[in-house]
Amino acid sequence: MKTGLTLQQIEQFIQDGFVRIDHAFSEPLAREARAILWRDTGCDPDDPATWTRPVIRLGMYSDPPFLAAAQTEILQAAFDQLAGPRRWIPCRSMGSFPVRFPLREETGDTGWHVDASFAGDDPTGFLEWRVNWRSKGRGLLMLFLFSDTSERDAPTRLRIGSHQDVARLLKPYGEAGLSFMELAGKLPELPERLETRAVGKAGTVYLCHPFLVHAAQPHSGTEPRFLAQPPLLLRRDFDMGGSETGISPVEEAILRASSSA
């Protein structure tokens, strides 16, 4: 298996805001993880009559198959390449799992947004968490596909290049940045962008710029979708001035966008 990203993939990340890595972890690991997740949903994988909710949200997972999926050689090399060597913290849990079932019901969680990365005045109030121009606290948004995900299986929607617009929007707000809800309220003002979807086989990972605008969507397929969305946390924050290892592609994308404002 190859290690790391090509120069073309890194440039794609800077321009488009994401890169897709196929076979980032193995199908056997995905299958082990799904067994744990199925157990915790309380549903029977062989009986669709037990799939009574369109979304079941599961918490943080640190079981061996989840950690192994996040610690493959190709992913760790890509983390170094995109966020900077030694700038990130190894994943100690796989983050939250919004398990989506093939039910034609409104879920109320399909709006476009950017994930927040640091606490505001109330650390327990998720909607008050914040995002600033330096992406304080967060190196990457990551999408781990633990089940095969086609166009019909509620793939996450991604606005190509939207991270550039968000970088320009955030810069005037300085270190304080904007809250999750404040930023979400300003997204309709941003330029139109082409949309793509995070599809792929189980074991596919999308590494996304932390400012990439994305959204969930209803499930119109036949099999539940299992996806994790952990952040890549930073050991030390980006400073946009370069470090001993140079400017990372995450920082480069922000600087290019801001210079073209």
Write down all domains in the chain, each with its CATH number in brackets.
7-259 (2.60.120.620)
Whole-number Å distance between alpha carbons of 208 and 169: 18
Prediction pTM value:
0.95
**Would you tell me the crossing angle of helices 7-16 and 249-259 to the nearest 10 degrees?**
50
pLDDT tens-place values along the chain, 261 residues long: 457 899 999 999 999 999 999 999 999 999 999 999 999 999 999 999 999 999 999 989 999 999 999 999 999 999 999 999 989 999 999 988 999 999 878 888 889 999 999 987 776 667 789 999 999 999 999 999 999 999 999 999 999 999 999 999 999 999 999 999 999 999 999 999 999 999 999 999 999 999 999 999 999 999 999 999 999 999 989 988 766 668 999 999 999 998 875
